[in-house]
Structure 1
């Protein structure tokens, strides 16, 4: 937390202004001072680096982002590499996304299908907001948050509808010159009975190999397809139930080691990488004393290595979490109390055969209180976590 007091600088500017007036009208000094001098209070400029960075929909839309790196490019300590969706990776203070807790609408994204592949598949056009917390400063971040956490939130119909509007649509086309990419997307959203909102979105993005600074080909030659379907029902003033299903797919000609930049010769192959995420969410928010969020989800990441062999590497994650937040004050202290329970199970597979399956069960409880006094915030927290790994279904020497 940094504070700067600018009162001295303002007084200096006003004094210079008064001196200039005195030189131009020396015959009536007292009148000049009375008519031009004003007394201002202290102006405080505050920079707060202790809270998570939030990227809102305005910033996302104005950047015309095609990859996640276009969204994160000005967040300190965060870097996203990759020239296409097949190899984009998030790094936070040098820690890769396999050491970060990444969620989409509360659904945990576990998906290490191949070490040269991306672990995250998401279309920036569908993002409403992103909350980035750099560093493991909070016990709420969840399992795997060694370097921090990234929470994506996708758009809802209620975010797009204006006051008194019941239906709307959004059509978008785009073109990128370096890789001759063309994108087309359509979104339809509406509200019925003042309590039911629905959204349907579809996008296609086709592109070829781009050209790097030294004139060599880079990226991939592919077609990205994704869709999002969401529905929400509000009832009894403070209750809401939401359902969503999302599919994201990259398909085309890509290098085996996609993150190696322009090393393409002899490594190109037709492959496909896809993600499916389904969520159900219940929220209850009667006041600042209680904001309850219950989420259940299923996510599958799957990579098809070659269309000729049709070998599939995949990770399925099922989980749920109950989280609550309470805001209150005790004397001069302002409290933000967070508490809840998390559980998920991840299982990998290699088809056909599936000879070396692994399974992880993880559950945890946490409680944290961010106590604020003036410009100082202290956040004590406790988290209990149990992590169980079962390899080879309990068989074999490993």
Structure 2
């Protein structure tokens, strides 16, 4: 297969002279990173690097396995996995890596994001319609991933170092990585490379899942320079490539069809992200500043059995500026966002030009202001953003929209340890790019009139903590009006338009304990998404899917003297009745319980060596994740991939 090249770094290189805008002072110090994060009443969560290391996470399913409000469908192939928060698909979320937005959709049968989880430092998850500072178009929430820095890999007292790891999975594959990094008073740098190779895995019945193998390569480079004791500039670049032979619709098993068979073919997905970020602890008295230029390019390449080579490209460029200033116990955040997205279908075969130009472009520019008042026992936050969207499709039709997205939240400390919270947030997303794959299909056209999508989320909850225990819960109601999707039709007026209003109602309860060497957590969550009163099914691609009530449990025990940490994790999903795609009779998704064990051992006091052992799916359970495309009435068979069976993972990591 032709390997997709990385995009040219002209954008990043052209921005480097901006570093000279700030003059260096003597004795510069390491500057803490300024984060402009949202403030809402939602049940937000954070995934840490230590959690990902303990799980030996290798794909998105491993990353979000412990969160009852997040489901990952697609089976054991990273290429096909999709993330759902409260039943809403990843395309309804705001996704970013180190602040660089990952927007648009290339092909609805594959993932929107390929990344090595062990290059991640932390993940912030904002569930439900996001606050004003989360950026434009965050209808269903936001996921912000932050990659590792040199400081995350250096051992105590080190200035320069290197590390390497090697791991093997008995179901089936291996992972290896090499990293080099260092830090001085002025400079910090990092280069990391990893490779994950998986073969066709076995499900819980011992059957080999055909065409699930892949080869993934990941690269990360960062260069940070302290310009003064209050300012810093960081340049970063990341590349991820997934290559393998999988079915044309990668989230479905092979099947025969007289026109569009689902044959296994060579496919590749590559993503490149580059950014240049400037940080200042106090910028000309206006507050802490973080501003960033970024570019992301996603490319796909496929070759059919008939020999046709084609694919898609999605190019995102953007600029964000955020300021944060304190006024005693109060805080004000404000900023600007700008983003341009371009997409293209490559090597179109349409001699009648019914697909138009095969290219589309969209643009959004906006600004926000968000403040919080600390009134002692009561914390009040409110914000608003204004966004202006423009979009020109492949048939030269233009769409314009603009509007406000307000949000507000209240936190009340009723007594010591007990906090009640409530919030409401709204978000606007203008008409934007079609899925890039659709630009090669003549009958998938925009209607002449399409309204922008508008989301609203209302939420109430509580938090209580005492003597090492914490108990929390949320109840929410969300709606997304004017959901935009593509209909299966041949109407001359267009097949892409507004499908109506989607609703989600649900809750989450969580109980945690942390004291001494013990850590534990249990949670239960249920979301009920529907579209115009109809429960979402597997065919509601681009919107969401309904899954059964989900329970999670985890328990960790540390033995500091021995350098050991032991962990257990379980996930239970209750059975669900649903209407399968292409069927008129109700179907049934079986429930399942899956257990995992984890062990981390650091035998040396200087932590040079780390040994991780993980046993996923301890009891070799055969099951389909309920977020996976399941039974199809037209094909009269289950089209999704079963999850992997028992998988023993062993990894050694050495730091020099």
Shorter-chain TM-score category?
0.7 to 0.9
Residue from 167, 174, 177 that aligns with 1:174: 167
Matches within 5 A, 1:1-398: 50=42, 52-82=44-74, 83-178=76-171, 180-192=172-184, 194-218=185-209, 220-260=212-252, 262-263=253-254, 267-286=263-282, 290-306=287-303, 308-329=307-328, 334-353=329-348, 355-392=357-394, 394=396
The 2-side partners of 1:394 and 1:50 are apart by 40
Secondary structure of the equivalent of 1:295? strand
Secondary structure of 1:210's counterpart equals coil
Q: Tell me how large the CA RMSD over aligned residues is.
A: 2.4
Cα deviation, residue 289, structure 1: 8.0
Contact persistence 1:293–1:322 (CA under 8 A): yes
Q: 1:127 to 1:369 in 2, by over 3 A?
A: same
Distance 2:344 2:204 in 1: 39
Greater relative CO (CA pairs within 8 A, separation 6+)? 2
TM-score, length basis structure 2: 0.50
TM (norm. structure 1) is 0.80
Output the CA distance in 2 between the equivalents of 1:224 and 1:176. 15
Cα distance in 2 for partners of 1:52, 1:374 equals: 22
Query: Could you tell me which residue of structure 2 aligns to residue 36 of structure 1?
Result: none
Q: Which residue of 2 aligns with 1:24?
A: none
Q: Is the 8 A contact 2:49 2:118 kept in 1?
A: no
Partner of 1:28: none
Contact 1:111-1:300 at 8 Å conserved across structures: no
Distance in 1 of aligned mates of 2:208 and 2:154: 43
Which structure shows the higher helix fraction?
1
Residues 130, 138 of structure 2: 8 Å contact kept: no
Q: 1:137 to 1:249 in 2, by over 3 A?
A: closer
Conserved in 2, the CA contact under 8 Å of 1:217 and 1:264? no
More off after superposition, 205-214 vs 119-128: 205-214
SS at match of 1:158: helix
Structure 1 residue 319: deviation in Å? Answer: 0.5
Contact kept in structure 1, 2:369 and 2:384, CA below 8 Å: yes
Q: Deviations over 1:175-221 (max 9, x none)?
A: 1112x2111111110124x2111111111111111122344433612
Task: Give distance in 1, aligned partners of 2:203 and 2:330.
Answer: 51
Cα drift, residue 374 of structure 1: 4.2
In structure 2, runs of 5+ residues without a counterpart are 1-39, 257-261, 349-355, 399-444, 447-656
- Unaligned 5+ segments in structure 1 are 1-47
SS at match of 1:392: coil
How far, CA to CA, are the matches of 1:69 and 1:204 in structure 2?
18
Say if 2:43 and 2:127, in contact at 8 Å, map to a contact too. no
Distance apart, 1:348 and its partner CA: 0.5
Structure 1 CA distance, aligned partners of 2:288 and 2:43? Answer: 19
Q: Deviations over 1:315-359 (max 9, x none)?
A: 100001001222333xxxx42322110010000011225832111
Moved more, 306-315 or 94-103: 306-315
Shifted more, 307-316 versus 221-230: the winner is 307-316
Q: 1:348 to 1:294 in 2, by over 3 A?
A: same
SS in 2 for 1:121: coil
